[in-house]
Chains A and B, each alone.
Chain A
Amino acid sequence: MHFTGREWWALIHGMILGAAFLLAFGGGLAGLWSLKANLVTREGVLERMRRLKVGVVTMAVAAWLTVITGTWVVYPWYREDIPKSPKSRLLADSATKDWHEFGMEWKEHIAWISPILATVVAFIVLYYGTNLIRHDRVRKTALTLFVLAFAFAAVAGALGAFITKVEPVR
C-alpha cells in the first residue's frame, strides 16, 4: 500500500480537510439552529457559545486551507502541460473533456466563495455572541450564509471527487 507525494496532497486537500470541514459544518449547524432562549440555561449558553465559536472558526479555517492547497499545490499538477497530466488526458477524449471544460472550470472558481462566506459567519458569531439568541433574524442570517458556504463547497467537492475518479493526480 503506497501513495505518491502528489496523491498524499490530493488526499489532504480532498479527504482530510474535507472531513474536518464536514464535521465543523455539522457542529456549527446544530449550534446555530439550537441557539434559542427557551432551549438553554445560562450554563448551557456558555457551553454552546464556546462550541459554536470553535465550530464556525474551524469550518472557515478548513475551507481556506482546502482552497489554498487545492489551487496552489494540487491544481498545478492537474494542469501540467504534458500529455500525461489529468487535464491533458481529459481533453484528449471527447467523452471526458467536459470533466475539465465544465467540471474543473466550475470547481476551481466556485470553491473560493465558500471560505469567504464561512469567514463572514465566523465573524458574526464571534462579534455578536449571545446576541444571536435574542436577535433571531441575525441568527437565521448567519444560518443561511453557513448553509450557502457549505453548498458551494459541496459542489466543488463533488466535482473534485468525480474528476479524481475519472483522472486522478498521480
Chain B
Amino acid sequence: MSSTTGTRAGAIEYPDRPEGPISAAIIAGGVGALALGILTTLAEASTGVADWLQWSDRVGPLSGETIMAVIVWLVAWTVLHFVYGRSPIETRTALIIAFVLIALGVLGTFPTFFQAFAPE
C-alpha cells in the first residue's frame, strides 16, 4: 500500500510510509512477551537460572527476568526493523504472529502454569 510520493486526498496530507516497520514493531512486542514468559518459567524450574537472574537481591529473580525481556524485545525490534523496513508485510499477518507469541508469554507468566515446573 506504499507509494513513492506523498499523496493528498481531499485536504488531508498522507505522508508516504511502508507498513514493514509497523509489522516489525508488532512482532517484536510479541517476542518480548514470549521472552518474559519463558524466563519466568525457567526461573521457577531451575534454581540455577533463578540465581543467575537475581541481578538485585532486593528484587529477586524478577529483576533479571524483566530486564532480559526488555533487552530481548528491543533487540528483536531492531533486527526486525532492518529486515522488514522496506517490506510490504501486512500488519494482519504480524498481528496474528504477535497474538500467538503474546498468548504463549501470558501462559508462561501464569502462576498455575509456571509453578508446575517447580522442583519437587
- Which residues in chain B, 1-42, are within 8 Å of chain A measured between CB atoms? 1, 9-15, 17, 19, 21-22, 25-26, 28-29, 32-33, 36-37, 40
**Minimum CB distance partner of A77 in chain B:** B58
Q: Output the least CB separation between A77 and chain B (Å).
A: 9
User: How many residue-residue contacts, CB under 8 A, span A and B?
Assistant: 110
- B111 engages A134 (CB within 8 Å): no
Give the contacting residue for A113; candidates B28, B58, B102; CB below 8 A.
B102
- Which residues in chain B, 73-95, are within 8 Å of chain A measured between CB atoms? 73, 90-92, 94-95
Count class of interface residues, chain B: 35 or more
Cα A101 to Cα B12 with chains together (Å): 53
14 A-B pairs besides A113-B105, A113-B109 with CB distance below 8 A are A42-B12, A45-B12, A79-B60, A102-B111, A105-B111, A106-B109, A117-B33, A127-B17, A128-B22, A129-B15, A135-B19, A141-B26, A145-B26, A152-B106
A25 within 8 A of B: no
- B102 engages A128 (CB within 8 Å): no
Cα A128 to Cα B70 with chains together (Å): 24
- B36 engages A113 (CB within 8 Å): yes
Give the contacting residue for B59; candidates A72, A127, A134, A138; CB below 8 A.
A72
B53 within 8 A of A: no
**Minimum CB distance partner of A135 in chain B:** B1
- B14 engages A130 (CB within 8 Å): yes
A-B residue pairs, 6 tightest by C-beta: A109-B109, A42-B11, A76-B58, A120-B29, A105-B111, A116-B32
